[in-house]
Amino acid sequence: MFTVLKKESLNPTVTLMEIYAPSVAKKAQAGQFIILRTDEHGERIPLTVADYDREKGSVTVIFQIVGATTEKLNRIAEGGSLHDFVGPLGRATHTDGLKKVAVVGGGVGCAIALPVAKALHEKGCEVHSVIGFRNKDLVILEKEFENNSTRVLKMSDDGSWGEKGLVTDALRSLIESGEKYDEVITIGPLVMMKFVCALTKEYGIKTIASMNPVMIDGTGMCGGCRLTVGGKTVFACVDGPEFDGHQIDFDEAISRSGMYRDFERRKHEDTCNLFKAASEEK
């Protein structure tokens, strides 16, 4: 069984879990993901590897409580266990040869951006992290970014944390101040990544975007995670999850990402009601 070694609430809707999974921890790298099930009849969901400890045999994941399965996952306490924890899956982030990189993360996407920044930092790369949240109450991993970046620019929509504005505002100011990047890596909401990529295209800066579409089997067989990149169909689970951001059809990806939103909301509500009813019966 895959035991929960540590559980920590990072903000009201985001939870960190450290899971005992030695076979996954042995091979995991930044940019890869796992697929888990909470129980025998549970839904398969992909979560990015946020960190790993090869000696301890553990893998850390960070998730936002947005649907029925993440609600169930969040109900598992330290000492509890998951039914399945499969990985690592996907292609690891390319870090070789990069000397200076801007890592741009937004919201819970910062949980995916952090291991990328850390991997680059550990290789001696100069890392400028640009991280953004709606407000100070939603901030996660601030100290971790500071420890794994040469420079950190903090942005919030309402100005309650860091500077008021968007991550694209901060990135543009860096570029226009004369910073020269080998690459920009962006991870976060699709709309945010779309505009980051549009910005860097203006300046001819290679940009990688980490995609997280609907995914089921994680082997490229179901086709649920398909994207259009450079006019061709690719699968995020086996060809990605990172792609050339200037080649991604973001409008198509945004449209597909909302297909199951109403269904997911209803399932989340049903699951919460079941937990509430069970609690009241005790």
CATH number at residue 68: 2.40.30.10
CATH number where 192 lies:
3.40.50.80
Q: 137-179, pLDDT tens digit by residue?
A: 999 999 999 999 999 999 999 999 999 999 999 999 999 999 9
Q: State the average pLDDT over residues 250-262.
A: 77
Q: State the average pLDDT over residues 265-269.
A: 57
262 falls within a domain: no
Give the global pTM: 0.86
Instruction: Give me the residue label for tokens 């930092």.
Output: 121
Q: Name the band, by pLDDT with cuts 50, 70 and 90, for residue 272.
A: low
Q: Name the band, by pLDDT with cuts 50, 70 and 90, for residue 281.
A: low
241 falls within a domain: yes
pLDDT at 219: 76
85 shares its domain with 201: no
In total, how many domains does the chain have?
2
Last residue of a domain, one of 65, 89, 113: 89
Is-cis flag, bond preceding 88, omega within 30?
A: yes
- Mean confidence (pLDDT) of the chain: 90
> At residue 213, does pLDDT exceed 90?
no
Q: 12-27, pLDDT tens digit by residue?
A: 899 999 999 999 999 9
267 falls within a domain: no
149 shares its domain with 237: yes
116 shares its domain with 216: yes
157 contact partners, CB below 8 Å, separation of at least 6: 132, 133, 134, 135, 164, 165, 166
Per the structure, the complete domain to which residue 225 belongs is given by 100-257
Q: Name the band, by pLDDT with cuts 50, 70 and 90, for residue 122.
A: very high
118 shares its domain with 249: yes
130 shares its domain with 252: yes
265 falls within a domain: no
52 shares its domain with 118: no
168 shares its domain with 72: no
Of the candidate ranges 80-84, 228-232, 236-240, the one whose mean pLDDT is the lowest: 236-240
183 shares its domain with 113: yes
Listing DSSP states for 29-76 in one string gives -TT-EEEEESSTTPPPEEEEEEEEETTTTEEEEEEE--SHHHHHHHTP
